[in-house]
Amino acid sequence: MTKLTLADIVDLRAYERERGTLRKNIIELKKLRRVPLGNLVTLVFENRETIRFQIQEMARAEKMIRDEQIEMELNIYNPLIPAFGELKATLFLELTDKEMLQKWLPALVGIEGSVYLRLGDSEDSPILPSHSDQDHLSQLTRSDVTSSVHYIWWKLEGELIERFKSSPVFLGIDHINYKAEVNLSRDLVESLVSDWL
C-alpha cells in the first residue's frame, strides 16, 4: 500500500465539501476493523484510508494551511500504513474515568508487547508477537505506567502470508494482568489482505 503524499491531503475548503461522505465511509470501515479484546482493550487495524482521514481531521482541527505542517503530519502517520505482508494497528485502552486510569495504567505496563496473532487453531499454530517502534516505546511507555494509546505491527512473510489468508486467525493479549483472545472474522481478514494489493 503506497504512502500518502502532500497531493493526497486536500485543503480545508475542499475537505469540508467531502468530509461528510468520507467520515461516513471511514466509520463503516473502522466498524469492520475495530476489534474489542476483553473489556478494556480495542485494536483498530489501520490502512491508507484511515490514516488519510486522521491527517485530514488533524489539519482541520488545527487549521493547518502550510505544506510544512501537513508534511510533518505525513511523517508522523505514514509509518502506520501497512506495506505488503504488514499489519498495523492502534491499540486503545478503554479507560473512561480517573479511577480506571489510576488502576490500569500502572498494571498494564508492557501491554503493547503482549499482543499476538495466532494463525490456525491447532496446538502447533504459529504465534506472532506484536512489535512497537523504539521511538514509540521511549515516548509512550515508562517502567511504572503505560499510555492509553499504542501503535503496534506485525510483519508476515512467505508461508505465514498464506496461512493468514486461509487459516482461522486469532488476535490475543497475554499480559500478566490481562488476557483475552478473539477469532477475527473472515471479512476482517479479507479487508486486511486487500491492504496489500
pLDDT, tens digit, for every residue of 121-147? Answer: 998 999 999 999 776 556 656 678 999
Residue type, 45: F
pLDDT, tens digit, for every residue of 71-108? Answer: 999 999 999 999 999 999 999 999 999 999 999 999 99
Residue 36: band (very low, low, confident or very high) from pLDDT cuts 50, 70, 90: very high
Q: Name every residue whose Cβ is closer than 8 Å to that of residue 31 and which is 6 or more positions away in sequence.
A: none
Q: Is the pLDDT of residue 156 over 60?
A: yes
pTM of the model: 0.93
User: Looking at residue 133, what is its pLDDT?
Assistant: 79
Long-range Cβ pairs for the range 52-58 (8 Å, 24+): 52/4, 52/8, 52/9, 53/22, 53/23, 53/26, 55/4, 55/9, 56/9, 56/10, 56/15, 56/19, 56/22
Helix (H) or strand (E) holding 152: strand 149-155
The single residue listed with the C-alpha cell 499504542 is: 150
